[in-house]
Structure 1
Amino acid sequence: MKKYIVTLTEEERKTLSDIASKGKQRSQKILNALILLGCDKGDYQTEHSTNEEMSRVLQISMRKIDRVKKRFVEGGLDAALDKRTGNRIYAKKTDGDFEAHLIALSCSEPPEGFARWSLRLLADKVVELNYIDSISHETVRRILKKTRSSLGNKRDG
């Protein structure tokens, strides 16, 4: 494992001390500030804490300390303090045309032997009818919830 060495400037230490002492920030931001202050090996640090001591005192894992130190070294103070946002982008599998077919199907009569459409039945049927290659029942649920449609309720048409 790489060792990330945190060296803070006097201004960064003051900023982190303000965040940690005022308590007006999110708890994770305060915790990250305390971690950085404890790990500082710069000229303005009077005493240095080991990761084991910080882990015990703050009741956090060693892995969290390593992640905060890594984010500080690679991305700077703001990256270490603030919550990391996800950068994955998911392609939408469905479009309006598919959603219209799904809603029409959910409002139609259920298959023989069933009182109403289930999410899994709908998911299987749209794949069978070649409206889409594959779909989970959870995606069907989200689409129908978004459209405020019921699963085959007589009042809906």
Structure 2
Amino acid sequence: MRKKYIVRLTEKERQQLYETIKRLKGTNQKVRRAHILLKADADGPCWRDKEIADAFCCRTQTVENIRKQFVVNGFQQALDGKKRENPPTPKLLNGEQEAKIIATRLGAPPPGYANWNLRLLARHVVELELVPSISPKISVF
């Protein structure tokens, strides 16, 4: 089957990829993408997707996606990866609150209960006034 997206690296791009690999600059995903782009280069080794996937322990779909990103969005985005459109929501609890909840969960459940469940734990955390609310249905007010 013919490849739809062909990777052709310039000498400058190749040097940047070698530099990323040599110095392990960036995340392990970035280094893996650099390896994949170098092996997928039509003017270089030009490995098949299956060979690349086997060599770097990933799926062939991953290799195809990186090649597609290179052709459609450019070298830098293919190397760095796509940025998140929606950043993760901020944490509701700090480390001390989390530790208290874990300690409560590891302790004995209240009388009349065999185990802790999420609803019971949430109610107990609000009663201890660790947080004003832990879920939409359970709050101090």
TM-score when scaled to structure 1? 0.54
2:62 counterpart of 1:64? yes
Cα deviation code 1:24-69 (max 9, x no counterpart): 3101100111110000013xx2x32111111111110000000000
Return the structure number with greater relative CO, CA threshold 8 A, min gap 6: 1
Give the letter for the 1:60 counterpart.
Answer: C
CA deviations on 1:73-128 (whole Å, 9 max, x unpaired) are 0111111012312446xxxxxxxxxxxxxxxxxxxxxxxxxxxxxx99xxxxxxxx
User: How far is 1:2 from its partner?
Assistant: 6.2
- SS, match of residue 4 in structure 1: coil
Gaps of 5+ in 1: 89-118, 121-146
Amino acid at match of 1:12: E
1:149 to 125, 133, 140: 133
Equivalent residue, structure 2, for 1:80: 78
Structure 1 segment 4-153 matched on structure 2, within 5 A: 4-42=5-43, 45=44, 47-87=45-85, 148-149=132-133, 151=138
Q: Which has the larger radius of gyration?
A: 1
Q: What is the alpha-carbon distance in structure 1 between the residues aligned to residue 3 and residue 72 of structure 2?
A: 12
Q: TM-score under structure 2 normalisation?
A: 0.59
Instruction: Provide the alpha-carbon RMSD of the alignment.
Output: 3.4
Between the aligned partners of 2:58 and 2:12, the Cα distance in structure 1 is: 26
> What amino acid sits opposite 1:48 in the alignment?
C
Aligned length: 101
